[in-house]
Amino acid sequence: MASDDVNNFLTRLSRKRARDDEENRDKMSIILGTITSVIAIVVAWYNETYLVKEPSRDWDQERRCYLNRLYNGREFDCIEQLRVSKNAFKSLCTILHGKGGLTPTRNVSIEESVAIFLNILAHNLKFKVIGFDYYRSKETISRQFNSVLHAMMRISEEYLKLHPCAIGALDGTHIPVTVSAKDRPRYQNRKEDISTNVLGVCDPDLKFIYVLSGWEGSASDARVLRDALARDNPFQVPNDKYYLVDAGYANGQGFWAPYRGTRIINACFVLHNFIRLEQHNDLVLQDQDFGFLASVDHEISNHSTLEGNANWITSVQVTDQWTTFRDMLALQMFHDYQARGTTIS
């Protein structure tokens, strides 16, 4: 009998534990369900109260509106963003299509491609930055930029005609490039940027007449100029003419260097020449001091450095004669300036 009582007691105890475990599971299920519901309610309330929901957007429509404002809106906005007037922009698109071979794609028009290209150059923007404004991927921006670039190269001869006897100004400019790891030391310039050193020569109308690219960023401006003079198809400077250069070059025959602290005008090659031809009233350049440029042009047109002959200058050398000439010309320009000031007052 004692054994039966023990067995009955253990059976009842086991059943009670089973009932208790089931009740506990039911309670935990209710508690967890309640907590989950409360959390969902709190999250929904927070999102509704504090978060601004992104509405559904028509990216194509927004892109069209942006482009329409860019080159069909205000003249000021077009010049500010693309560096060209609306008429010049439309003319450039026509020329790049007709002569440069630029064609639209299924999703990108010629106008959008050219706008992307000009926008990047005008503000030195990265592809991923311009892609955000145009609602395009970085890959699309890269493809369109290179398509326009190739078209620009096809029309470059029309806007970079060589006139070796023209008088003007020249300088070197560093343009960022991407090179292999082994070439990086040669292309690293003084500012430790990776670039190519490009020589640009302008005539008195600020149009480029000679461009030499390809030199490493570590090369000095003077070295690039010496190479330009020594090439098989050289940059030619007549003995009785000279170009204005900055203080980084030697003051020698054919190259008139200023006193330290003077700067000369740099521009942007083919596009710059195009703007000069198509956009006679350049609002950007109107902000510059053309008075000084006009006085320099006047002095250039009324002075000859040496008795003329048909020979070309083939090297850059510092001479006492040329330094004396520079001093005398600068003094004469200063006297002319004083005379004009006296007349005005």
Summarised one tens digit per residue, pLDDT across range 162-194 is 444 447 888 898 999 888 989 899 999 888 899
Least confident interval from 39-48, 57-66, 161-170, 243-252: 161-170
Domain spans in the chain, listed from the N-terminal domain onward: 59-154, 169-344
Long-range contacts of 27-30 (CB under 8 A, 24+ apart): none
CB proximity list for 34: less than 8 A, separation 6 or greater:
none
Task: For residues 123-144, give the mean pLDDT.
Answer: 90
pLDDT in tens, 87-120: 999 999 999 999 999 999 989 999 999 999 999 9
Looking at the chain, the whole-number percentage of residues with pLDDT higher than 70 is 72
pLDDT in tens, 134-148: 999 999 999 999 899
β-sheet bridge partners, residue 237: 313
Task: For residues 242-268, give the mean pLDDT.
Answer: 67
What CA–CA distance (Å, rounded) separates 227 from 233? 11
pLDDT, residue 202, reads 86
Q: Which residue has the tokens 């007037």?
A: 85
| pTM check: above 0.85 | no
